[in-house]
Chains A and B, each alone.
Chain A
């Protein structure tokens, strides 16, 4: 008798929290479609009286969003490629071998994950400056952001590799494959889902990367959309629907990818945990 209300209560709670969390997203879309006077109306309107989508093409052109988004894409692609290329092999080794050194390595990697980007940026900036990397600011950002993304990637891809039974590899070895062959043709195809999901997550994170880009890239034509958006904001900014339109254009592709792939992403993240 007493047990029935509990699940419903939790459902209501969950929906309430989700609504609270997603409200800014909703507010972003709604505000972008409002006229400038309606934005400041009190009490606020929850649906624009006269939706005006023309702000989108206008903002796109005025803020040179094509360039910003292209830079975001370049950085995200770079970070993802570097992470997958280096992280996959690393995760595999950490999954397959057991020793004190592996444990120390894993601990060190987890420590990397702990350090926030805002703490790392100063030493990185100085280091990149010494190496002359600041002349290639996007490359520098890719390196810095990949360094931040790899630990997360390694820890989760390692779990994926651990779910691939070792005996499969051994069977492949006895069947006549080399160590490399067994990795590429047996283990990788079986870990593909997990790797794919984490590559997508890495990509999405890098697509929104801000701190390193803001600090390292000073040339506006090389800045990603996140930095472009912050340039929009100022103490006196009034162009709220323009800002919201910009944000909507920036965020919508990421949200769409997430919505389309959410089933696989959830499955991929838990694949190592559940057997």
Chain B
């Protein structure tokens, strides 16, 4: 596989603010890459740098093998879908779709024909003569997509394209965007703050924070082997539980310091007396009998959506998700069991994953 988009040692400064720090990233042709992270992490800046809307301060940016530093957006042959859709309000849907073609000098008739074709694949045929203000949110979203598709670009760049849609439409568009990507064999870079979007749509997920790539990998790799506490907390919903802990003097047991020193046997020996953070996903904790329990919590809230029940501790530090319903009430004391193979350990200081033989 060849890299369609390549970033080498890319830095971006805004005055004294260091927005992107030494970013190295290669995006394979035909792959769907999601950039996720909290707001202000630099993911949008990275996307806009690829589009050419921001210039990079140093490093190299290549698209399809050509160096693109300083090349204006119009010569990069990438298409972008904006969060606000950015449809031209004074043009009809047809002219919105075909705008880029007419800029390239395509004749009116050809551009119109092409717009009609794209309208058909995106379900906009009936709306070609409407103006953006006469469309619903979902329809505008489709026009924005169509405007990108019509160009057959080297890469699609998506900047949080679904965040203005309501929840059910978002789920539907998620699938549509992904199937469109597969059908066109396109290369896509997708920025989102919603880790579910990233997990469900992308081949590769890149997690960013403070202008740095924290981890990259396949969605389930990130879920199963988060490189540090930040990624562990960011990927997965509800978020992973973190419990300040330590290894006992023999190096074979993990002591939950915050839960009156209750402990669990480790899969393997670790450095004795080391301070660690134990990360346990809510879905791998279960309510257990007194004999089985590894540690105990006081129940704070019990929420049920019907399909899932969320039990949170009073200190809000621990959440359990289970599919069975529960009789538990606030202030009940309950024992929780976890499979020690499912515990992620992070160094208390560096917050980096503690690599064990098990993974």
Q: In the complex, how many residues of chain B place their beta carbon closer than 8 angstroms to a beta carbon of chain A?
A: 25
**A170 x B86 contact (CB < 8 A):** yes
B281 located at the interface, meaning its Cβ lies under 8 Å from any Cβ of chain A in the complex: no
A176 located at the interface, meaning its Cβ lies under 8 Å from any Cβ of chain B in the complex: yes
CB proximity to B under 8 Å, residues A46-66: none
A230 located at the interface, meaning its Cβ lies under 8 Å from any Cβ of chain B in the complex: no
CB proximity to B under 8 Å, residues A149-202: 165, 167-168, 170-179, 181, 186, 189-190
Mask, B16-32, CB within 8 Å of A = 1, is 00000000000000000
B99 located at the interface, meaning its Cβ lies under 8 Å from any Cβ of chain A in the complex: yes
Contact with A173, one of B53, B90, B104 (Cβ below 8 angstroms): B53
CA distance A179 to B83 in the complex (A): 21
Q: What number of A-B contacts does a CB cutoff of 8 Å give?
A: 59
CA distance A166 to B100 in the complex (A): 18
CB proximity to A under 8 Å, residues B113-153: 147, 151
Chain B residues positioned under 8 Å from A178 (CB to CB): 72, 74
CA distance A170 to B72 in the complex (A): 11
Chain B residues positioned under 8 Å from A186 (CB to CB): 88
A170-B53, A171-B80 as given contacts; A176 in contact with B86, CB under 8 Å: no
A170-B53, A171-B80, A181-B103 as given contacts; A176 in contact with B90, CB under 8 Å: no
Report the minimal beta-carbon distance from A267 to chain B, rounded to whole angstroms: 16
Chain A residues positioned under 8 Å from B73 (CB to CB): 170, 173-174
CB proximity to A under 8 Å, residues B38-92: 51-53, 72-74, 76, 78-80, 82-84, 86-90
Q: Quick one: closest A residue to B99, CB to CB?
A: A175
**B86 x A173 contact (CB < 8 A):** no
**B88 x A173 contact (CB < 8 A):** no
A181-B103, A190-B89 as given contacts; A174 in contact with B84, CB under 8 Å: no
Report the minimal beta-carbon distance from B93 to chain A, rounded to whole angstroms: 14
CA distance A172 to B76 in the complex (A): 13
CA distance A250 to B52 in the complex (A): 55
CA distance A96 to B103 in the complex (A): 24
Chain A residues positioned under 8 Å from B104 (CB to CB): 176
Report the minimal beta-carbon distance from A251 to chain B, rounded to whole angstroms: 36
A175-B103, A190-B89 as given contacts; A170 in contact with B74, CB under 8 Å: no
CA distance A181 to B76 in the complex (A): 17
**A189 x B86 contact (CB < 8 A):** no
CA distance A186 to B139 in the complex (A): 21
Mask, B149-183, CB within 8 Å of A = 1, is 00100000100000000000000000000000000
Report the minimal beta-carbon distance from B339 to chain A, rounded to whole angstroms: 48
**B80 x A189 contact (CB < 8 A):** no
Chain B residues positioned under 8 Å from A176 (CB to CB): 74, 100, 103-104
Chain B residues positioned under 8 Å from A181 (CB to CB): 103
Contact with A167, one of B79, B82, B147, B157 (Cβ below 8 angstroms): B82
Report the minimal beta-carbon distance from B319 to chain A, rounded to whole angstroms: 38
CB proximity to B under 8 Å, residues A238-256: none
Chain A residues positioned under 8 Å from B87 (CB to CB): 171
Binding site for A on B (CB under 8 A): 51-53, 72-74, 76, 78-80, 82-84, 86-90, 99-100, 103-104, 147, 151, 157
A-B contact pairs, 13 of them (CB 8 A): A167-B83, A170-B51, A170-B86, A171-B86, A172-B99, A173-B74, A174-B51, A174-B53, A174-B73, A174-B79, A175-B79, A177-B74, A178-B74
